[in-house]
Amino acid sequence: MSIQMPRGTQDILPGQSEIWQYIENAARDLCKRYQYKEIRTPIFEHTDLFLRGVGDTTDIVQKEMYSFQDRGGRDITLRPEGTAAVVRSYIEHKMFGWANQPVKLFYFGPMFRYERPQAGRFRQFVQFGVEALGSADPAIDAEVLSLVMSLYRELGLKKLKLVINSLGDKESRTNHRNALIDHFEPRIGEFCSDCQNRLKKNPLRILDCKKDRDHELMKTAPSIIDYLNDESKAYFEKLQKHLTDLNIEFVVDPALVRGLDYYNHTAFEVMSEAEGFGAITTLCGGGRYNGLAEEIGGPETPGIGFALSVERLIAALEAEKVELPISTKIDCYLVSLGEAAKDYTVKLAYQLRNAGFTVEKDYLDRKAKAQFKSADRHKARYVAILGDDELEQEKINVKDMETGNQTEVDLTSFVDEFKKLQA
């Protein structure tokens, strides 16, 4: 039996990888404009980082992490998300002491979660994420939101909905937490075992339960908006003003709850409203996480960020039938006629590539007609034809595949002459 890739993973083949490269380049360009710098953290971390950072009541920690013991007996986990690792690195390398504050970072990389594979969701998936650490200003929240909305728009997505909520500060969350316990406790036996376990540990997570989302108590649960203190209300109002000033449309949803324990104040999701996209519409999620740095042993540090799945982004592009402007054309295809000419094109291809051109040649001893067909498949702008006779005369013919015009060029100065054709 042949060996196949593990369930929940995928091979990204030529023809697809160019789409991934285009998206990554677009994100990198946008981060440069916003002055976010790339960080690369290990693919595996100590399990305790995610227990403390993500939260032991979350589905990620309870059900989805790929964890194991290494040969030294240490508990290791393949990273299920990027924020905890970035904050760990921020603390370990004392970035809070850097001259430029806040510290603004972005990352690209594979994440791992053991969940049921479905359209746009994999067990190994790639996230693009942004983290801004060191500022408690709602203006940086608006900046983070504007960055992700700009990325989606610049890639061509139009059918988007930005949903925001406030989870409040510590005082507001404590008051809301107590109200949730009072609300659910009398009938908690009607809920799933996960919700029962979360009642006292983190009742806010009950609102995010997929099994019991249709229970009548979910519809009447106390809203965090009603428990925001004056400071939290002012923060949320300032964020909304910034978004309005930036002409970024949004919807306030008091029921929005992020799935990780470290969020407070701003929480948000970007959703696709494209027809046929699927039941799970979330493209991106994020929020503010003041307190996460202290939770994993660092100094008090406010932070905000988001993460998006590149797979989900590509699915949204497909749903909206967006075609990215990706060119697969090459500058020159070398056609050789004769053994000596074939050998010479090895050097010629090398010289053209060193001069900065995209070049391909025949390696299968095909006839001239088959080589021209190969040039068409490669969408070659020019075809350079070299035969043994032309080689002796130190000449080469160059054909413009758009106009059909053919020119004889001196072989010894071919690279310089080809540069002129491209000018």
Is it the case that residue 261 has pLDDT exceeding 70?
Answer: no
- The answer to whether 110 and 289 are in contact (CB under 8 A) is no
What is the Cα–Cα distance from 398 to 410, expressed in whole angstroms?
10
Angle between helices 17-34 and 138-154 (to 10 degrees): 150
Q: Is 78 helix (H, G, I), strand (E, B) or coil?
A: strand
CA 40 to chain centre: 14
Task: Say which range, 127-131, 144-148, 151-155, 418-422, has the weakest mean pLDDT.
Answer: 418-422
DSSP string for 274-315: -TTS-S--EEEEEEE-TTHHHHTT-----EEEEEEEHHHHHH
What is the Cα–Cα distance from 39 to 30, expressed in whole angstroms?
15
Q: Is 152 helix (H, G, I), strand (E, B) or coil?
A: helix
Is it the case that residue 286 has pLDDT exceeding 80?
Answer: yes
- Tell me the backbone φ, ψ of residue 59, rounded to 5 degrees: -60, -35
Residues 410-416: contacts with CB under 8 Å, at least 24 apart = 411/386, 414/348, 414/384, 415/351, 415/352, 415/355
- Tell me the backbone φ, ψ of residue 132, rounded to 5 degrees: -120, 115
Give me the pLDDT at residue 373, please.
97
Longest C-alpha distance within the chain, in Å? Answer: 96
Residues of the chain with pLDDT > 70, as a percent, come to 98
What is the Cα–Cα distance from 141 to 306, expressed in whole angstroms?
10
Is it the case that residue 259 has pLDDT exceeding 60?
Answer: no
Top-confidence residue, 322 or 195: 322
- Write down all domains in the chain, each with its CATH number in brackets: 17-169+229-319 (3.30.930.10), 330-418 (3.40.50.800)
Give me the pLDDT at residue 260, please.
57
CA 235 to chain centre: 28
- The answer to whether 415 and 352 are in contact (CB under 8 A) is yes
Q: First-to-last CA distance in the chain?
A: 54
What is the Cα–Cα distance from 292 to 300, expressed in whole angstroms?
8
Give me the pLDDT at residue 324, please.
96
Q: Strands, DSSP E only, in 43-157?
A: 44-46, 66-69, 75-78, 103-112, 124-133
- The answer to whether 168 and 232 are in contact (CB under 8 A) is yes
Query: Could you tell me which of 193, 256, 180 has the C-alpha nearest to residue 63?
Result: 193
Confidence of residue 136 (pLDDT cuts 50, 70, 90): very high
Confidence of residue 245 (pLDDT cuts 50, 70, 90): very high
Top-confidence residue, 217 or 312: 312
Handedness of CA 239, 244, 250, 253 (dihedral sign): positive
Q: What is the pLDDT of residues 177-224, one digit of tens each?
A: 888 888 988 888 888 988 888 888 778 878 877 788 888 888 888 888
Q: What is the pLDDT of residues 159-174, one digit of tens each?
A: 999 999 999 988 888 8
What is the Cα–Cα distance from 202 to 249, expressed in whole angstroms?
31
Top-confidence residue, 105 or 183: 105
